[in-house]
């Protein structure tokens, strides 16, 4: 079945079963591979994207549920990695293997959109993504730094 999706501000016509997980439509039909597959059961968060500004685990979210809604992937934050959250991630060398980081960054963005000055407890509660390399202490530092950078931009 053909339907249209808006991904990172661009409309894409896709032909997929409506129940196909959004993750696979984004990767296989739209061609954006920054969003990663890991657990397949919406537990780890590697596949996190935003739908209408809300973080969702795209591995278990039917693509048809995103029709008429705005989807943002890691590629939609900035073309050159200059978004404040991405800069903070680099500053604190957050990734080790890096596999979970696109989802982790998208979850951090959602948290900062709701809470521009989170505590460590807020970060722990708001970012439930799993990092096999256990860089959670660096994630907290990067989120605090991103909050500072965003405030500096007037966001």
pLDDT, greater one: 26 or 132: 26
DSSP H or E segment with residue 124: helix 120-126
The conformational region for residue 127 under phi > 0 = left, psi -120 to 50 = alpha, else beta, is: beta
What is the C-alpha separation between 25 and 15, in angstroms, rounded?
A: 9
Contact by Cβ (8 Å): 5, 52: no
Contact by Cβ (8 Å): 37, 59: yes
Q: Output the pLDDT for position 98.
A: 86
All structural domains of the chain with their residue ranges: 2-76, 84-152
Residue 15: pLDDT over 60: yes
| Same fold? 2-76, 84-152 | no
Q: What is the pTM of this model?
A: 0.94
Task: Please provide the CATH number assigned to the domain covering 2-76.
Answer: 3.10.20.30
| CATH class, range 84-152 | mainly alpha
* pLDDT tens digits along 40-87: 999 999 999 999 999 999 999 999 999 999 999 999 999 899 999 999
* pLDDT tens digits along 88-131: 999 999 988 889 999 999 999 999 999 999 999 999 999 999 99
Q: In sequence order, which residues have a C-beta less than 8 Å from that of residue 95 and are 6 or more positions away?
A: 89, 101, 133, 135
Q: How far is CA 69 from CA 13, 21, 28, 133, in A?
A: 14, 15, 19, 33
């Amino acid at each position: 079945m053909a339907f249209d999706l808006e991904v990172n501000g661009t409309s894409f016509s896709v032909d997929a079963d409506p129940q196909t997980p959004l993750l696979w439509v984004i990767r296989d039909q739209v061609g954006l591979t920054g969003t990663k597959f890991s657990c397949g059961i919406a537990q780890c968060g590697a596949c996190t994207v935003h739908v209408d500004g809300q973080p969702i685990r795209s591995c278990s979210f039917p693509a048809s549920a995103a029709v008429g809604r705005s989807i943002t992937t890691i590629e939609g934050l900035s073309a050159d990695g200059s978004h404040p959250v991405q800069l903070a991630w680099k500053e604190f060398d957050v990734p080790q293997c890096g596999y979970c980081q696109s989802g982790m960054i998208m979850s951090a963005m959602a948290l900062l959109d709701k809470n521009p000055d989170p505590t460590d407890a807020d970060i722990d509660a708001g970012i439930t993504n799993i990092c096999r390399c256990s860089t959670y202490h660096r994630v907290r530092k990067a989120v605090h730094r991103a909050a500072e950078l965003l405030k500096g931009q007037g966001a």
